[in-house]
Structure 1
Amino acid sequence: MSKNLILWLVIGVTMMSLFNMFSAPMSRADKMAYSTFIEKVDGGMVESATIKENQVIGQYRDTSGEIKNYDVNIPANDASLSQRLIDQHVVVNVKEKDEVPFILSVLISWFPMLLLIAVWVFFMRQMQGGGKGGAMGFGKSKAKLLNEHTARVTFEDVAGCDEAKQEVTEVIEFLRDPSKFTRLGGKIPKGMLLVGPPGTGKTLLARAIAGEAEVPFFSISGSDFVEMFVGVGASRVRDMFEQAKKHAPCIIFVDEIDAMGRHRGAGIGGGNDEREQTLNQMLVEMDGFESNEGVILVAATNRPDVLDPALLRPGRFDRQVVVPRPDLLGRDQILKVHMRKVPLASDVDTKELARGTPGFSGADLANLVNEAALNAARYDRDKVTRADFETAKDKVMMGTERRSMLISDDQKETTAYHEAGHTLVAKYLKNADPVHKVSIIPRGQALGITMQMPEEDRFNHDKEYLRDQISIMMGGRLGEELVLGQMTTGASNDFERATQLARNMVTQWGMSDEMGPMVYGEREHEPFLGREITRQTNISEETARKIDIVVRQLIEENYDRAKKILEDHMDQLHLLAKALIKYETLDTTDIDRVMEGKEPVLVSGSEKPAGKGKTPPEEPTAKVDIGESGKENKPSDGEAGQAS
């Protein structure tokens, strides 16, 4: 804003100066006819005269005696005028023709063109974001050279990806002491690609490289190479590598490289667009005729499947470093990193939090700690407690509680029996994850939720575990049907997810004796949905009909199994539902006590501590269940617990 203000002030002052310079000679002078001028000279009214070729300017006295300026044009070679002025005792001056300086004349003649050029430069700078070097410098690289004082991050700030840190550490050691590796014939890697889901810490790991390496570090985004003009991106790639060669050995970090490294030939116009020319130049610079010794390119992306194969071959990105979602130990370490500046209460256990957040990325965990700190500040606490982290975890997973939502007693009872059905079936299945919490408080699009917390991270699932999951999904509808004798739309997402799970067991995972260990259907990436889907193509009608029969049998078997559990423990189903109607939220200890016919600890026990007399927030709930529109929200793969 200050730069724009100064620019317009300079333009305004320049325009005013030019205006005054050209308008001053013509101001405050009466244009007079030659005959009138002669009459005034003969009448003795002219006081002074300055003769300049065919022009006379000066002062005269009008009839009232007031002195005024005059300006009159005279005939050429009028020799008698000078004598006439002298005879009337007029002060006469003779002035030669004004010589306009050459520079000023050029400026006057070229002023319109210069003004147009200045306007063009101004708008070009605006379109190019004020690119380095002015309007003619938008082909220059926008890479930023970072030093050890620029937001320094070290490996101590990176947790949960030990293997990736080890790979990166080897590159840094290579830059510091190349002879350690070259003495055995090794060559410095030219490129390293950081691959992983969003939020796992790829950019943070690259910043840690800048903090640990004692070499120059250039940082740029893949979108900085893409411009509206063809050839600009390729020019910026060349300029970036030229700068890097001057500072070699050094590291170049390109974030979100898929913005300019997508597969060639996929665009409109036969592949001759700006992005593909930029990619071609990148390929040549990384492994072309010219040698770029000492320049290491580190890139990050969460879409390695769309990158051009030429970009991933040996000699360019020699190694791919996977930065996955952290496991239990990694989440524990990440939480400790983010809790360094957070005052914690004695009841906070990072291992318990890590166990209750499977599938969380590093960014999710950072958001969890921040939400817990905000919740503690909201209730004026001096320290962040376990209850704050539970509230934050449920808020991150499901959204804020909607306690202002008006729900009738009948709908509340239906939701309570639905959640009690999920909970009771999960309690009596040995392969199911333990139930962590159940609630009928609306959150987000859910009217009620049941959360299961796995005891450990699961990297694959056996057949019995998946069958138990289908039975648990059926428990919600059965809880409503067996007690209230009604069917609602609340179980629609339960059925949708159970059907998809059963179909995957039959068609993708070979868990059906009738269909055998075969895959029926092809997995395709749907660009508009942003995920992979399975299409049953190239199979006969008879096979498709048989698949439908086997899927239906699998669902009905587990439906009957869940129904038998609820019928055998109907008294406990009523106890859980009534406790939910009364207390709204039950955790794992409360559930066990209610099933034994005892009062929940949540009510009979002590209240959770609050700061400075404010009421503490209630114990949060977890996963998503019946949506407001009759649907349920489906949790993403790897999220904690089982959405009822």
Structure 2
Amino acid sequence: MNNKKVISLLPYILVISIMVLLITFGNGSNTKEFNYNEFAAQAENLSFKEVNMSMGTTVIGVRGTYQNGDSTKSFTVSVPRTDDNVKWLSELFEKNKKTKVNVLDANKESVLEVFLKSVLPFLILGGAAIFLFSRMNAGGNNKAFEFSKSRAKIESSIKVRFKDVAGCDEEKEEVKEIIDYLKDPKRFTDMGARIPKGMLMVGPPGTGKTLLAKAVAGEADVPFFSISGSDFVEMFVGTGASRVRDMFKKAQQHAPCIVFIDEIDAVGRQRGAGMGGGNDEREQTLNQLLVEMDGMGENKGIVIIAATNRPDVLDPALLRSGRFDRQITVNLPDKKGRYEILKVHARNKKLAKDISLESLAKRTPGFSGADLENVLNEGAILAVRDKRKMITMEDLDEAIDRVMMGPAKKSKKYTEKEKRLVAYHEAGHAVIGLKLEDADKVEKVTIIPRGEAGGYNLMTPKEEKLFPTKADFMSQITGLMGGRVAEEVMFNEISAGASNDIQKATKIAKAMVRSWGMSSLGPIQYDDGTGNVFLGRDYGSGSNYSGEIAYEIDKEIRKIINECYDQAKKLIEDNKDLLTLIAENLIEEETITSEQINNLMTYGKLTSPEQEQRKEQARIEAEREEERSAQAQAEAENPTQEAEDNETSLKREEEKQKAQKSFEEALKELTKHDSEE
């Protein structure tokens, strides 16, 4: 059992012990206490069993037991010590030979025994009270002194290395100087260089900021202090500042070391923002952090690494040179980075031989490192669930869908009309993707419900671009309009299934007009891009454009959406046959892949002639193998028939050879006759 659990149980054990002692001493009240006259009157009639006489100077203490009916009862009495009483007691107890008499000298009785009998209960009670009081103090006042201590966790030996971090080669190059400095600071000081005191890692969630910080500590082989920004701030003002001081004090004792602050925006938000002037505790904590990083004193050998996905809300004083000198952006990985990340996370996975991590990386644009790790983990879980020994491509395909949209809701049943509507809706997206030049490539189309969606298209960019153009955004909006247009063209009605498509299209169109200058309003930014990070930030300040411009912005957004809608409608009407072909196969199969879609476009069916030929050959081979197995089994079961068949075959072979020999002889004779003529 854990020692802490034992200590927590001690008060209960003491309370139970005290209750037992009290009960024991309470049972002592059952002893009959005679006075001298009463004992003298009743002694002749009592049947004594055991008697102890303590011979004092003036008093004889008598205690023992006597028979009281069917039970035995204790008694005690004090008799004055006279010669007559000594003689009387001796004669009284000698009458009954069954009585056991013990004569004790009162002067030889242990002083310690007397002391313990009289004082021990009070000692136990006092000790229990003192123990309980100390425990109460430990839970209150003593912990009050630890309340202001730093909660940073220290790890001395980090096992993470750069080989465990993939998809961020440029970011690794940026932090290599920190590793060199921690290993050999003299090289930098001799050159007069000052290593950055702090590095701020910025990027979307799941891109590996914490993992990269650990890898820096692992490569440098220095202690690693890790703490979250929320661990500083408490309800009591001044606690966070005290914890910051304590953290840097501990870090100095372990220098050189790395202090990693995760989610620093929890404590480093801009001061003075918000209704009412901000938060005193958070601002005091931030002030202390600013002082410790670049105040009056120096923290030699301490490198601060912080991570956040909200750099826009951080205080400017925190980001200036001398504090966080270097800002490293950890972006979502590209195709090559995703492939490297998948290789790292696939080390301990049992993958089937036909799995291509490169094609998997191509199908997962926009996935972070955490998402990719989750895909492989979900695939492993699915393989275990289906009792397979290897992870197959089907498992990973389902895992991608789960990470993106959630598990398939196979129990959700469509009506026949709804199923056709969803099939044509998804087929509309697919047709736009196939026929529009700048549209994304269609990888898979399904009408199986997932999450809030009734079906979806998995579409990936033909090539990943760093700077998308206006044509790319227009193609995205056109593709999003494909489902709604297909419903309108084929059923002359529209459903609520396109709500998410409309939301995404509107967001892109707004950004094109307000942020990217991709409209007739010109290259002017009408969106300040800061957003209301806090309640009260820019409170009361109006928009930076007039109402007339707002009207023009709405017109431009509507113009973009309508233009893309008209283009989608023209493509759908021009390719109704392809739309119907894809939709009808979707209704039948529920899910079709990019290869099957290409076969539909080329051959009008899901399989190509080559695939059908390979399938037919596989069927013929299977039939032949089955025949051979049946023949072998029959021969094993009927060996006599096998011998007869062999004999028949030999006879036929002999007859064949004789006929061949006769034919050759006749041919020679004929040849000889012709030559003579």
* TM tier relative to shorter chain: 0.7 to 0.9
Q: Which residue of 1 aligns with 2:129?
A: 112
**One of 488, 501, 511 as aligned partner of 2:508:** 501
Query: In structure 1, what is the Cα distance between the partners aligned to 2:517 and 2:56?
Result: 108
Contact 2:259 2:302 in 1 (8 A): yes
**One of 155, 160, 179 as aligned partner of 1:146:** 155
Q: Which residue of 2 aligns with 1:365?
A: 372
Q: C-alpha displacement at 1:106, in angstroms?
A: 7.8
1:390–1:315: structure 2 CA closer, same or farther, 3 Å change rule? same
Q: Does 1:568 align with 2:574?
A: yes
Q: C-alpha displacement at 1:156, in angstroms?
A: 0.4
Return the TM-score normalized by structure 2. 0.76
Q: Does 1:218 align with 2:225?
A: yes
1:518–1:15: structure 2 CA closer, same or farther, 3 Å change rule? same
**One of 520, 539, 543 as aligned partner of 2:549:** 543
Q: Which residue of 2 aligns with 1:93?
A: 106
> What amino acid sits opposite 1:145 in the alignment?
I
Contact 1:520 1:536 in 2 (8 A): no
Query: In structure 1, what is the Cα distance between the partners aligned to 2:55 and 2:201?
Result: 84
Q: Which residue of 1 aligns with 2:631?
A: none
Query: In structure 2, what is the Cα distance between the partners aligned to 1:280 and 1:83?
Result: 94
Q: Which residue of 2 aligns with 1:28?
A: 28
Q: Which residue of 2 aligns with 1:128?
A: none
Q: Which residue of 1 aligns with 2:63?
A: 59
Q: Deviations over 1:148-172 (max 9, x none)?
A: 3x6x111100011112212222111
1:267–1:10: structure 2 CA closer, same or farther, 3 Å change rule? farther
1:53–1:156: structure 2 CA closer, same or farther, 3 Å change rule? farther
Structure 1 stretch displaced more, 378-387 or 573-582: 378-387
> What amino acid sits opposite 1:2 in the alignment?
N
Q: C-alpha displacement at 1:368, in angstroms?
A: 1.2
Q: C-alpha displacement at 1:525, in angstroms?
A: 2.9
Contact 1:28 1:69 in 2 (8 A): no
> What amino acid sits opposite 1:257 in the alignment?
I
**One of 592, 598, 602 as aligned partner of 2:604:** 598
Over the residues paired in the alignment, what is the CA RMSD in angstroms?
3.9
Q: C-alpha displacement at 1:417, in angstroms?
A: 2.0
> What amino acid sits opposite 1:428 in the alignment?
K
Q: Which residue of 1 aligns with 2:586?
A: 580
Contact 1:196 1:301 in 2 (8 A): yes
1:297 alignment partner, SS class: strand
Q: C-alpha displacement at 1:48, in angstroms?
A: 4.5
Matches within 5 A, 1:327-338: 327-338=334-345
Q: Which has the higher helix share?
A: 2
**One of 431, 449, 459 as aligned partner of 1:452:** 459
1:419–1:109: structure 2 CA closer, same or farther, 3 Å change rule? closer
Q: Deviations over 1:134-190 (max 9, x none)?
A: 675344333333233x6x111100011112212222111101111221111012332
1:596–1:278: structure 2 CA closer, same or farther, 3 Å change rule? same
Query: In structure 2, what is the Cα distance between the partners aligned to 1:258 and 1:521?
Result: 23
> What amino acid sits opposite 1:576 in the alignment?
I
Structure 1 stretch displaced more, 358-367 or 280-289: 280-289
2:592 alignment partner, SS class: strand
> What amino acid sits opposite 1:557 in the alignment?
E
Contact 1:121 1:135 in 2 (8 A): no
Q: Deviations over 1:381-435 (max 9, x none)?
A: 4443333322221221122222332212222222222222222223222221222
Q: Which residue of 2 aligns with 1:258?
A: 265
Query: In structure 2, what is the Cα distance between the partners aligned to 1:103 and 1:309?
Result: 69
Q: C-alpha displacement at 1:454, in angstroms?
A: 0.5
1:549–1:260: structure 2 CA closer, same or farther, 3 Å change rule? closer
Query: In structure 2, what is the Cα distance between the partners aligned to 1:55 and 1:553?
Result: 121
1:41–1:421: structure 2 CA closer, same or farther, 3 Å change rule? closer
Query: In structure 2, what is the Cα distance between the partners aligned to 1:145 and 1:521?
Result: 44
Contact 2:58 2:81 in 1 (8 A): no
Structure 1 stretch displaced more, 394-403 or 4-13: 4-13
1:341 alignment partner, SS class: coil
1:32 alignment partner, SS class: strand
Q: Give aligned pairs, total.
A: 587
Q: Does 1:418 align with 2:425?
A: yes
Gaps of 5+ in 1: 126-132, 530-534, 610-644
Q: Which residue of 1 aligns with 2:146?
A: 137
Contact 2:171 2:330 in 1 (8 A): yes
Identity of aligned residues (%): 45
Contact 2:67 2:73 in 1 (8 A): no
Q: Which residue of 2 aligns with 1:192?
A: 199
> What amino acid sits opposite 1:59 in the alignment?
R
Structure 1 stretch displaced more, 539-548 or 225-234: 225-234
Query: In structure 1, what is the Cα distance between the partners aligned to 2:605 and 2:245?
Result: 73
Contact 1:154 1:209 in 2 (8 A): yes
> What amino acid sits opposite 2:549 in the alignment?
T
> What amino acid sits opposite 2:575 in the alignment?
H
Q: Deviations over 1:497-534 (max 9, x none)?
A: 33333233223322222x222233444535699xxxxx
Structure 1 stretch displaced more, 97-106 or 559-568: 97-106
Query: In structure 1, what is the Cα distance between the partners aligned to 2:419 and 2:68?
Result: 103
1:394–1:134: structure 2 CA closer, same or farther, 3 Å change rule? same
Gaps of 5+ in 2: 91-102, 536-540, 619-677
> What amino acid sits opposite 2:175 in the alignment?
V
Q: C-alpha displacement at 1:231, in angstroms?
A: 4.2
1:401 alignment partner, SS class: coil
Greater relative CO, 1 or 2 (CA 8 Å, sep 6+): 1
Query: In structure 1, what is the Cα distance between the partners aligned to 2:281 and 2:59?
Result: 64
**One of 472, 495, 502 as aligned partner of 1:465:** 472
Structure of greater Rg = 2
Q: Which residue of 2 aligns with 1:242?
A: 249
Q: Deviations over 1:58-81 (max 9, x none)?
A: 415658699854456x8xxx9x66
> What amino acid sits opposite 1:549 in the alignment?
K
1:36–1:279: structure 2 CA closer, same or farther, 3 Å change rule? farther
1:85–1:270: structure 2 CA closer, same or farther, 3 Å change rule? farther
Contact 1:217 1:250 in 2 (8 A): yes
Query: In structure 2, what is the Cα distance between the partners aligned to 1:177 and 1:102?
Result: 69
Matches within 5 A, 1:43-442: 48=52, 50=54, 58-60=62-64, 69-70=74-75, 86=86, 88-89=88-89, 91=103, 93=106, 109=126, 111-112=128-129, 114-122=131-139, 124=140, 136-148=145-157, 152-265=159-272, 273-442=280-449
1:81–1:549: structure 2 CA closer, same or farther, 3 Å change rule? same
Query: In structure 1, what is the Cα distance between the partners aligned to 2:425 and 2:503?
Result: 16
Q: Does 1:520 align with 2:526?
A: yes
1:601 alignment partner, SS class: coil
Return the TM-score normalized by structure 1. 0.79
> What amino acid sits opposite 1:370 in the alignment?
N
Q: Which residue of 2 aligns with 1:10?
A: 10
Query: In structure 2, what is the Cα distance between the partners aligned to 1:503 and 1:164?
Result: 33
1:102–1:217: structure 2 CA closer, same or farther, 3 Å change rule? farther
Contact 2:14 2:128 in 1 (8 A): no
Q: Which residue of 1 aligns with 2:643?
A: none
1:116–1:365: structure 2 CA closer, same or farther, 3 Å change rule? same
1:294–1:17: structure 2 CA closer, same or farther, 3 Å change rule? same
Query: In structure 2, what is the Cα distance between the partners aligned to 1:580 and 1:302?
Result: 41
Q: Deviations over 1:218-239 (max 9, x none)?
A: 3333333344555444443333
Q: C-alpha displacement at 1:330, in angstroms?
A: 1.2
Query: In structure 1, what is the Cα distance between the partners aligned to 2:279 and 2:66?
Result: 80
Q: Which residue of 2 aligns with 1:623?
A: none
Query: In structure 2, what is the Cα distance between the partners aligned to 1:441 and 1:365?
Result: 23
Query: In structure 1, what is the Cα distance between the partners aligned to 2:553 and 2:492?
Result: 31
Structure 1 stretch displaced more, 301-310 or 333-342: 301-310
Query: In structure 2, what is the Cα distance between the partners aligned to 1:304 and 1:492?
Result: 32
